[in-house]
Amino acid sequence: MAEGTAPAEGQRMPDASDIEALRAFLMNGVASIHQNPEAKMTPSTYMDLYTAVSKLIVGKKFEDGELLGKDIYNDVSKFLAEHLESVKFKIICEDESLRLGTYFAEWDRYVSSATKVDRILNLLNRHYILRHTSEGRKGFYPIRLLHFVKWRTEVWEELDDWIIICVQRAVEKKEENVGRVYDMIRDFQERRVDSHSISWKESISKSFHLPFVFEVEKLEREVDEIAAGLGNNSSHCVNNLAAARQ
C-alpha cells in the first residue's frame, strides 16, 4: 500500500463479503498509523480495524483463512518495504551532523507504530503466524518482529556504515545523542560476555543491531529447535514403522 494512502479515521467499514475492500481498509489503517504514530486512534477506529482482521481470517474455512492470512502478512511486508524506502531517503538527505538524531527519531516513531499495528493484527499473530512458527516453519514473524526484520534489511543494512560514522563523530564531538549511544553500548555489553574482545567499531554496530535483532534471533532459535524436534520425531516414527513391518 503506497505512502499516500488515505487514513482510516472516518472511513466506513466494508461489507464482510468484500474481501479486497476489507484488505484495503486494513492497510489504510496500517499506513495511517505509520504516517502519524503520535496521533491517538479513536476506540471506534481501533475496533473497526480489529474487526476487519477478524472478518478476513477468523470463522472461515481453514483454507480460506490460511490464504487470507498469507495475503495480509504479505500486504504488511510490502507496505513496510515501501514505507522504509522513504524513511531511508529522509535519513540520507539529512546533514551529517543531524543524521544520527534523525535515525533515532525515525526508529522511535517506527517502534511506536510497530506496537500499535501489532495490537490491531493480534488475530493474525494468533491464527496464522503462531501456527506456522509452532510447526517449526521459518520466515514467519509476529507483526512487531516483522517490523524489526524489515528495518534491518531496508534501513540498517543500507545505512550502517553512514550511521557508524555519525556515531563516531557524536562521541568525538560530544554531540547531543552521545548519551543514548553510550546507553546502547552499555546494554550490549551487559548482554554479551565477549563484548570487550571486539573492536570499538564492531561494538557500535552490534549495539545498534541489538534493538531490532535480539527478539528476532530468539524467535529464530526457538523455531529451529521446534523444527529439529519435529524432524527427530518424524525419523523416530519412520524407524518404528519400518521395525513393525519386519
pLDDT in tens, 199-228: 888 889 999 999 999 999 999 999 999 999
Query: In total, how many domains does the chain have?
Result: 1
pTM: 0.86
Q: Kindly state the average pLDDT of the residues 73-91.
A: 97
- Smallest Cα–Cα separation from 123: which of 74, 53, 73? 53
Q: Is residue 53 part of a domain?
A: yes
Rg (CA), the chain: 22
Name the DSSP class of 197: G
In a domain, 234, yes or no: yes
Question: Is there a domain that residue 14 lies in?
Answer: no
Which CATH number goes with the domain that contains 122? 1.20.1310.10
Q: How far apart are CA 235 and CA 237, in angstroms?
A: 5
Spell out the residues 6+ positions from residue 133 whose beta carbon is closer than 8 angstroms to its own.
140, 219, 222, 223, 226
Domain that holds residue 177: 19-245
C-beta of residue 147 within 8 angstroms of C-beta of residue 155? no
Residue 223 and residue 133 in contact, taking contact as beta carbons nearer than 8 Å:
yes
Q: Give the model's pLDDT for residue 58.
A: 78
Domain membership flag for residue 10: no
Q: How far is the C-alpha of 26 from the C-alpha of 150, rounded, in Å?
A: 19
What mean pLDDT do residues 45-52 have?
A: 94
Residue 38 lies in a domain: yes
* Residue 183 pLDDT: 93
pLDDT reading at 6 higher than 50? no
Element (H, E) at 159: helix 157-173
Nearest by Cα to 50 from 121, 149, 104: 121
The per-residue pLDDT for 62 is 59
